[in-house]
Chain A
Amino acid sequence: MEALTLLAWMFDGLLGLGLLWLAWRALTCPDLFRAIVLFIAFGLLMALAWVRLDAPDVALAEAAIGAGLTGALLMAALAKLHPTETNDNLSVQAEISRPKGRLLQWLPVVALLLVSAGLGYVVLSLPPYVTGLSAEVAANLKTSGVDNPVTAVLLNFRGYDTLLEMVVLLLALLGVWSLGGTELHRDTAPGIVLDTLARVLVPLLILVAAYLLWVGGHAPGGAFQAGAVLGAAGVLLLLAGWRPRVGLMAWPLRLMLVAGPGAFVIIAALLYMIEGQLLEFPTAQAGILILVLETAATVSIGLTLAALFLGGRPRNDKGLT
């Protein structure tokens, strides 16, 4: 199988070089718009790398959140940063800083080359064959309630990390909202292409999200990927000019945003009282509990990501919510 291994090596090598080149271009391009596009391409290439590394769950999450939603957030920020640019002229020049003086310019480069060399040496000094925690994960997978090891780790073995991480997402929204409100009205009517696309894609995206949520128990997928797809649907709706009804903006919205981490906290507390350990799932109910948690998480994550894209606390006519 010489040719296949050689082919695999070439592919990985090209992918690695591609990642480095795209990152370099994204970081040094004078045009900010192009830089963001290059970053999104970098994210998609990264998703490809995850597939090559047998990490399909991570690939889904990276494509949806890392490349997709982060790219959308960056674009939205750029548009707000330079609102006077018209739709046609999308090039936004921002100067690349050049530190003054030859020494100052080369010192960080040399230092970082040394750091890379050191870290590279350290990485290569690691043993080539090691199991890590995969043995423990495999041994306990049956009692975890799901078949997908990544979901088991995320929602059961290290569920406490997931709880905190969902609070981090909520906290980011809190921070964004505390920085200023935004008007709910639409600025321009969407073109016919965007309008039709939204009408077709959004129900499809919701279906895909539901599928990803369900399948996450035994195949790549899960709450975060599903939530990200829901968030993408939300972003598409917002881009197409849809704005939710004002009455929905107060506590129903907040309740749904809190549903994910809130469900986690409630179930954690209940399980403590019943089982004696925080977040200890009884084996028989583990699967159901994980599905409940994931559903709540999907709703929250989708809403939070869409709200982050909107970029400000929705204001109704009476004042602030």
Chain B
Amino acid sequence: MSASFLYALVGIGLFSLSLYGLIVHAHLLRKILALNVMGSSIFLVLVALAKRTNEAPPDAVPHAMVITGIVVAVSATALALTLMLKLTAETGRAELPDDQRESH
């Protein structure tokens, strides 16, 4: 069942790609996009490796875990987007405020 390993490796690749995107980009919307792709990549690893059952139907437990994960991801995304909008309204820029300077 090498198709499952193929997809699992794609998942690993996506994980690294999105981790790079999360660290490197400053714009909050891009960071949120990166986190979403990262979540999808982990789900891909979970479901792909569940198909190693040869001819039998795949393992249903990772499928349930991924559905749970998708709902959790959309919840987190919604909160993150609203927080981003609020922050932008306060600072004018959709980026994490620079906390090097101490506000007195």
Contacts and interface: CB of A to CB of B under 8 A. Distances in A.
Given A39-B37, A99-B24, A108-B20, A12 B56 contact: no
The secondary structure that dominates the A interface is: helix
Interface string A106-121: 0011001101100110
B58 A54 contact: yes
Contacts of A78: 29
B25 to A, nearest CB: 5
Contacts of A27: 17-18, 20-21, 25, 30, 33-34, 37
A23 B37 CA distance: 7
B61 A74 contact: no
Interface residues of B, number: 75
B71 to A, nearest CB: 5
Interface string A8-24: 11001100100110011
A191 B77 CA distance: 29
Given A73-B74, A81-B88, A153-B63, 5 more contacts: A20-B17, A26-B33, A119-B15, A126-B49, A161-B68
Interface in B51-87: 51-54, 56-68, 70-79, 81-86
B17 to A, nearest CB: 6
Contacts of B43: 58, 62
Interface in B1-38: 1-10, 12-21, 23-27, 29-30, 32-34, 36-37
Given A53-B4, A78-B29, A129-B54, A120 B9 contact: yes
Contacts of B34: 27
A65 B33 contact: no
Contacts of B83: 179
Nearest to A312: B82
Residue among B5, B6, B12, B52 with most chain A CB within 10 A: B12
